[in-house]
Amino acid sequence: MLTWKDVINFSVNGNPTPDRRVEKTEDEWKAQLTPEQFRITRQKGTERAHSGALCSIYDEGKYNCVCCTTALFDSTIKFSSGTGWPSFTQPIKENAIKYQRDTSYGMVRVEVMCNTCDAHLGHIFPDGPEPSGLRYCINSESMILDKEMA
């Protein structure tokens, strides 16, 4: 189980090696994604709180990266954080997520990205439920729910 200490270690000393890499040009991403998905995943945008389609859905399945379909989170570790974005306590695999220090907007946070294709997903915070204490705060537009992988 990952802890906040592990997250900080990855963001400072390097991330785990992904199982595979997907790299495309900006034009290829634009052709594949909706304008909102592109803005969020490739330009590090954020959707408005409580606006995402996956925010209040708790169906069984796997939450996959909208860009490369890599499995990121399992529905069994999703929880209602009240923040307005889908929240999870752990990634599906340690090497599914990439962590990077983010100092934008005058704050110090840890950005989370798909470790396969570098898609911006959201941020992680150390205020989640036990036992990990982690809250992965993820944009709905960065994921697709695959109910067949339940």
Omega into 18 within 30° of 0, i.e. cis? no
What residues are labeled active site?
Answer: 137
Q: Where are the alpha helices (DSSP H) in 14-79?
A: 26-32, 35-43
